[in-house]
Amino acid sequence: MTRKRRKLSPDLEKKISLAKKEIELITAIIHDIDDEEIQEEYKQAFLPVFSGYMALDQSYKDVGFNEEVENIYSTYIEALLKFKNEYEV
């Protein structure tokens, strides 16, 4: 049986690539925090953002561009903005 082709979006691929770089940067900043309690607090607060990115990346790889993937991207952006507003990075 032939597999259905994924619909791709160059614009979303750029956004996912930028999101990956931002995730890596924030993760590095968090790992540089000396105080273990503060570092753990940041890690816990960053978890929804990281999970949102992972869901976005995996969904796009699996199904390509569709409304569900757009919704996952929006959720990721909301979580990222919330994290940035509440924590200094």
pLDDT of the residue at 4 = 66
pLDDT at 7: 86
Segments forming the whole domain that contains residue 18 = 10-86
* Residue 58 counted as domain residue: yes
pLDDT the model gives residue 89: 84
Whether 75 is covered by a domain: the verdict is yes
Give one DSSP letter per residue of the chain, joined into a string. Answer: -PPPPPB--HHHHHHHHHHHHHHHHHHHHHHT-S-HHHHHHHHHHHHHHHHHHHHHHHHHHHHBSSHHHHHHHHHHHHHHHHHHHHS--
CA torsion angle 31 85 18 10 (round to 10): 150
Tell me if 35 is assigned to some domain. yes
Residue 15 forms part of a structural domain:
yes
* Tally of domains within the chain: 1
pLDDT, one tens digit for every residue, the chain (89 residues): 555 667 889 999 999 999 999 999 999 999 999 999 999 999 999 999 999 999 999 999 999 999 999 999 999 999 999 999 999 88
Any residues with CB less than 8 A from the CB of 75 and at least 6 apart, and which? 52
- 4 lies in some domain: no
pTM (two decimals):
0.89
Flag whether 44 is in a domain.
yes
